[in-house]
């Protein structure tokens, strides 16, 4: 991944988060600092325990308080979590504006657009806050043309065959 790169992993296939984390490990191995902010998945599960072992080079944040995935919550709890998610968006802007990381991974941020939790202007503000030398990786299922225009590279992952 080159400096100042904005990359998107999207699609209905598996592996978007894994691909983004792989890029993060590669960057950390090159001496870069990596911040991962996870959205819509609830508190980080076991798959992210390995990342915690890679601190301080890689740091994982989830601002949601619920253990459950956002989509499994009642409407009342979703409303509460939306404020927590917005705190995560503000944190993303702050991390970029202060130069606290070389690579920012925004896991499932495209789902925030899909569910009208944030708008395209919110996403654009994050990308605009990026220092020239920093990178951003975004993941999610659905990719929109207006989001593609913000990226240097968009990779679509799709499942061809799934036997189990």
State yes or no: pLDDT of 1 exceeds 50.
no
pTM: 0.91
Identify which of 147, 151, 95, 118 has the alpha carbon closest to the alpha carbon of residue 39: 118
pLDDT, tens digit, 9 for 90 and up, residues 25-46: 999 999 999 999 999 876 666 6
Compute CA distances 74 → 68, 81, 82, whole Å. Answer: 11, 10, 12
Q: Which domains does the chain have, with CATH numbers?
A: 6-156 (3.40.50.300)
The helix (run of H) or strand (run of E) holding residue 69 is none
Per-residue pLDDT band at 66 (split at 50, 70, 90): confident
């Amino acid at each position: 991944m080159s400096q100042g790169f904005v990359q998107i992993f999207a699609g209905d296939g598996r592996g978007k988060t894994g691909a983004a984390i792989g890029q993060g490990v590669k960057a950390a191995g090159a001496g870069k600092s990596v911040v991962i902010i996870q959205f819509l998945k609830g508190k980080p599960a076991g798959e992210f325990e390995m990342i915690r072992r890679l601190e301080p080079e890689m740091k994982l944040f989830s601002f949601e308080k619920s253990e459950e995935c956002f989509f499994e919550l009642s409407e009342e709890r979703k409303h509460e979590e939306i404020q927590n998610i917005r705190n995560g968006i503000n944190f993303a802007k702050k991390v970029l504006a202060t130069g606290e990381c070389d690579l920012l991974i925004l896991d499932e941020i495209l789902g925030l657009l899909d569910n009208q939790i944030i708008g395209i202007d919110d996403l654009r503000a994050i990308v605009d806050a990026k220092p020239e030398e920093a990178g951003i990786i975004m993941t999610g299922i659905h990719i929109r043309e207006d989001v593609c225009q913000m990226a240097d590279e968009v990779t679509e992952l799709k499942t061809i065959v799934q036997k189990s």
